[in-house]
């Protein structure tokens, strides 16, 4: 296959011993920057994202999974049975000609395969290895089983999510620690790569997804350290803005995706100043509220927040969300429709910026995936191909990169080391 890889990391090779979301996402970010990211997989232990939905055309199969397709764009895939010593040796040969290794298995797993950092340093002294785990490689909880939703709760998100007065903590709706860990992992790999360029030395990165998630809530940690109080649940409100929330709009007439009702049309509004509040009052046809002492200042509005929100929703309930957005934005008020997945995929702005990736996949054809959210003027990046099928690049990696003969490749395949 001819390559058309672009980006500042062109020439950098990454070996992925990854699973699920966090590790693969870190590898994809590096691939988006131009690195050749090679994901090591096995039919003995398929990645959960190859077996989880949504499946293309609702037909199951390891090469039809949308989740895998989304977070493995621009990569290569090889199949190696890592439980076999011969498989581990193949990985070591690949590491010897690579720059970065990313892994996110439970602590101790890669060491049992003979692929820990000390093992890999012996074949590539300046290798950079990034280990993403739930709690880090050391510490009292380092051996605990970890999943993203559980880290959401452990990090403090759940106690802050919900409506005032609710007793039960709420999950936030997605596993933020996974992609957040991936971002931190890619960032650490880049910094380590820069350090190696300056000093010639590789290094090991021990990344705790729990710590990375807690870092997102630094303001809550600081608030507790200053006051000793737990922040209250605010639902959609904000302690520094009023109004700030999600407001119901007029029901849709048609065009809703499966799973949404006509009344599922909403508008997000945030007023950060008294001037924005006055502009909002003019747009909704209630300029007198801007001068009313109960609402004229931020402190007064917070004291009468229920009344403020009722007045705003009286207007939004008569509005189509995109038209309401146009009116409010024209007045200088931050307002946006609450998008469904369909709205996001069809959004004119995102499509005008060519954000979405439309690459031909050998099994499912062209499907829309998210693309690269940054634009670099000097070193343009691109999604150079769709996510790979399972073992799609066996011949390229084993024969072209590692120099195996056709007979050696067939022997490893027949013995099950390569599947």
C-alpha triplet 305, 310, 312: angle, nearest 5°: 95
- C-alpha span between 232 and 235 (Å, rounded): 9
Q: Residue 140 burial by CB count (10 A; 0-12/13-18/19+): exposed, middle or buried?
A: exposed
Q: Peptide bond preceding 270: is omega within 30 degrees of 0, i.e. cis?
A: no
On whether the CB atoms of residues 33 and 8 are closer than 8 A, the answer is yes
On whether the CB atoms of residues 103 and 23 are closer than 8 A, the answer is yes
Residue 243 is encoded by which pair of tokens?
Answer: 């109004």
Is residue 306 among the annotated active site residues? no
How many other C-beta atoms are found inside a 10 Å radius of the C-beta of residue 330?
A: 10
Q: Which of 178, 206, 238, 292 is catalytic?
A: 178
- C-alpha span between 95 and 23 (Å, rounded): 17
On whether the CB atoms of residues 333 and 271 are closer than 8 A, the answer is yes
Helices then strands (H, E): number in the chain?
Answer: 20, 11
- C-alpha span between 284 and 247 (Å, rounded): 13
Handedness of CA 241, 245, 247, 253 (dihedral sign): positive
- C-alpha span between 419 and 394 (Å, rounded): 9
On whether the CB atoms of residues 39 and 30 are closer than 8 A, the answer is no
DSSP string, 55-78: BGGG---TTSBHHHHHHSTTEEEE
| Positions marked active-site | 178
């Amino acid at each position: 296959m001819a390559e058309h890889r672009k980006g500042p990391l062109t020439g950098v090779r990454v070996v992925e011993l990854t699973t699920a979301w966090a590790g693969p996402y870190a590898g994809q970010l590096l691939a988006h920057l131009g690195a050749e990211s090679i994901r090591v997989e096995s039919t003995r232990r398929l990645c959960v994202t190859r077996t989880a939905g949504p499946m293309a055309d609702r037909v199951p199969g390891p090469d039809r999974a949308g989740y895998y397709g989304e977070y493995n764009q621009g990569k290569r895939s090889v199949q190696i049975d890592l439980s076999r010593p011969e498989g581990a040796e193949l990985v070591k040969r690949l590491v010897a000609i690579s720059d970065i290794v990313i892994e996110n298995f439970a602590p101790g797993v890669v060491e049992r395969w003979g692929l820990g950092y000390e093992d890999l340093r012996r074949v590539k002294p300046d290798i950079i290895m990034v280990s993403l785990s739930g709690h880090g490689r050391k510490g009292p909880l380092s051996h605990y089983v970890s999943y993203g939703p559980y880290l959401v709760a452990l990090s403090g998100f759940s106690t802050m999510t919900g409506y005032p007065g609710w007793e039960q903590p709420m999950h936030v709706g997605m596993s933020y620690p996974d992609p957040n860990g991936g971002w931190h992992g890619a960032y650490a790999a880049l910094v380590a790569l820069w350090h190696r360029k300056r000093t010639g030395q590789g290094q090991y990165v021990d990344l705790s997804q729990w710590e990375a998630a807690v870092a997102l809530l630094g303001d809550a940690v600081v608030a507790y350290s200053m006051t000793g109080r737990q922040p209250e649940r605010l639902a959609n409100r904000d302690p520094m803005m009023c109004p700030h929330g999600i407001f119901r709009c007029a029901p849709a007439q048609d065009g809703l995706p499966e799973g949404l009702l006509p009344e599922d049309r909403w508008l997000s509004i945030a007023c950060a100043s008294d001037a924005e509040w006055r502009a909002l009052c003019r747009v909704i046809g209630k300029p007198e509220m801007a001068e009313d002492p109960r609402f004229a200042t931020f402190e007064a509005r917070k004291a009468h927040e229920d009344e403020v929100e009722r007045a705003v929703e009286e207007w939004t309930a008569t509005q189509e969300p995109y038209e309401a957005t146009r009116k409010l934005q024209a007045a200088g008020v931050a307002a946006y429709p609450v998008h469904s997945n369909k709205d996001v995929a069809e959004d004119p702005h995102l499509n005008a910026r060519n954000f979405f990736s439309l690459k031909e996949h050998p099994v499912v054809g062209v499907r829309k995936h998210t693309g690269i959210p940054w634009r670099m003027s000097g070193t343009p990046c691109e999604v150079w191909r769709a996510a790979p099928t399972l073992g799609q690049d066996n011949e390229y990696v084993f024969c072209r990169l590692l120099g195996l003969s056709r007979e050696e490749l067939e022997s490893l395949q027949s013995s099950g080391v390569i599947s």
